[in-house]
Chains A and B, each alone.
Chain A
């Protein structure tokens, strides 16, 4: 059973606020990911990390930033939220190693963000 946790589950905030979405996993996985998902649309990768002190931007342009100071923790921060940031944010981790390995992902339950 995968153990990956996201908080908060729901967040409604005003424009211009700084927010941090939390993601933690207890499986010791090196690889972690942030995806953005809108209703009826594909999941889009916005950030990923191969391990501590490793972060990269994904395919989808995002104004968010991430950090990876500890293996288990991969928070995502928006410095100044805007209505266009309204979306579901999904965190995932993978036990695989190396670029070519099977990327079976374990997902958290997501954070639904609404920016007014």
Chain B
């Protein structure tokens, strides 16, 4: 069974203090690894898809990387508006569904 574990559960940062979130996964053949952002009271919003080890994607202050066992979401010089829960999900080859982790809640203080 596919498993996704995210760490830490919560992360409190000072504005400008860069950090990384971890997503460890086990899957029977990776079709894609997804990162989503979820704000309180809203549904998740798509950020990135990564397909193979060594791949990197960037969007503003966020950068996602992928290895064969884990993915990292790097937040560079975060701002208070980066505060959210970040969800990681994997899709196995020939499977329709995504398996989600429990998320990392990031709080950035001004």
Interface residues on B, range: 20 to 34
Question: Given A41-B102, A105-B44, A107-B44, A48–B97 Cβ distance below 8 Å?
Answer: yes
- Across the interface, name the chain A residue whose C-beta is closest to B44: A107
11 cross-chain CB contacts under 8 A: A40-B103, A48-B96, A103-B91, A103-B96, A104-B46, A105-B44, A107-B43, A108-B43, A109-B42, A109-B43, A110-B43
Q: Are A92 and B97 in contact (CB under 8 A)?
A: no
Query: In angstroms, how far is the closest chain A Cβ from the Cβ of B94?
Result: 5
Residues of A within 8 A of B95 (CB): 99-100
Q: Are A104 and B44 in contact (CB under 8 A)?
A: no
Query: In angstroms, how far is the closest chain B Cβ from the Cβ of A68?
Result: 15
Interface residues on A, range: 20 to 34
Query: In angstroms, how far is the closest chain A Cβ from the Cβ of B5?
Result: 10
Residues of B within 8 A of A91 (CB): 43
